Amino acid sequence: MGNVLTAYIYFFTNKSNIIVGQTSLAMGLTMTVFVLPSGYFADKIRRDILLKIASVVGVVGLVVIQFGNTITTIFVALALWGLFQALTRPSLESIFADSVESGKRTKVYSLVHLVRQLAQAIGPFANVLFFLWLGNEWTLKNMKNVMLIGILITFISIIIMVFFKDNKSLGSSSESIEENMVETEELKHNGLSSRLSVSRATKLIPYLLVGSNIIIGVGAGMTIKYFPQFFIEQYHLEPIWVQIIMGLTAIFTGLLALLAQKFSVKRGRPLIIFSVQLIATLCLFGIAFYPNIWLLVPLFITRGALMNAGQPLSRSILMDVVPKNKRGKWNSLETLAWGFFWNFSALIGGYIVGDIDPRFWLVFVVTACVYLVGIIPLLFLIPLVGKEKYAEKST
């Protein structure tokens, strides 16, 4: 449903990239307002209660997006979906983290990431069949019908959320760990010669991780929303080809996340995250030159796959070092990074691209420069985060 919804809004508004960015901001604003209170209540009350409330909001949002036929209803639906995400993500990520043993997270998180990416691949590949059946054209009717199928599938996901129970999660085995996170107390890397305690080091790790993710989120928001338009306007691709490219990207993202996890056992998680995101950034610089379609597609898939391959590693570090009673707060901050900052920067990206003679190359260059800044905090994590000892034994 995702890239089809973006294309739908684009054509519904007479090809306005600026309005596409504004709709993203509507979702980002509601996420911003509610995500921090949501994280607070997830820690102080119960995570499963918030998931039940979120399920009601999600259903309403899906109904509005399907039956609304004006730009106003699109804004309302996305605002509701932003509220849904704000209520869901801190609680869902926290209850999952509470159900995985600390020190053994990377393999589990990488497998979950693979499952999510395969699911995101099945969607576009299924859309290929739907567009063949409905007509391989970017018409509002075709896109609306394809979105309806996605909405019906999303209902199933929302129903499943009702069955989560806080008391089914693990106890102390999923608590935060300190002795296995920090490689050594004597930090001499990057000019640091002072002796830091394990406690101080572990407190610094979440700030560096979330800070990096916020900056990366700002860059990603400028660009991701405009890839479908880029394929449509610059390369004149039909719906089926766009779906195939998106599906392949999701598959490679899941596979490379597993590969990144294997390398992280020997090389350490921060170094692998930094490496894959640096290569992805260089690919984005290459896309800005509008290469031939046969070079563009591999660059695009590599960029998307590597940029997201480190997500399981990043989340496993965060959930290993954050105590259970604070995971809602930190997951809400993570959501804020990919909610407000991502969607607000999408608005900026819309103005950078423009509606007349779109400047996709410019937004790609700006995004790549932001990425370069965003991966700098990861360098400071390398001496702070030790190898995952349990993962090394199991592997």
In terms of pLDDT, which residue wins out, 312 or 367? 367
Q: For residues 53 and 27, is the Cβ–Cβ distance under 8 A?
A: no
Least confidently predicted of 137-146, 280-289, 324-333: 324-333
- In the predicted structure, residue 19 carries a pLDDT above the cut 80: yes
DSSP class per residue in 137-203: S--HHHHHHHHHHHHHHHHHHHHHHTT--GGGS--GGGS--STTT-S-SB--GGG--SB--HHHHHH
Separation CA 207–CA 327 (nearest Å): 13
pLDDT at position 360 is 92
Instruction: Please tell me the distance from the alpha carbon of residue 78 to that of residue 23, in angstroms, as a whole number.
Output: 7
Show me where the domains of the chain are located.
2-394
Average pLDDT over residues 259-280: 91
What is the pLDDT confidence band of residue 192, given thresholds at 50, 70 and 90? Answer: very low
Assigned CATH topology for domain 2-394: Growth Hormone; Chain: A; (1.20.1250)
Question: For all residues of the chain together, what is the average pLDDT?
Answer: 84
Q: Give the C-alpha separation, 53 to 32, whole Å.
A: 18
Give percent of the chain with pLDDT exceeding 90.
26
Q: CA 308 to CA 256: how far, in whole Å? A: 9
| Residue pLDDT, tens place only, 67-124 | 888 889 989 998 999 899 889 988 888 888 888 888 788 888 888 888 888 888 888 8
Q: Residue 386: which pLDDT band, with cuts at 50, 70 and 90?
A: low
357-381 as b/e, with b when 16 or more CB fall inside 10 Å?
Answer: ebebeebbbbbbebbbebbebbebb
Do residues 7 and 301 make contact, with C-beta atoms less than 8 angstroms apart? no
Tokens 């089914």 belong to which residue?
168
Per-residue confidence (pLDDT) for residue 199, from 0 to 100 = 61
- Mean pLDDT, range 260-272, rounded to an integer: 88
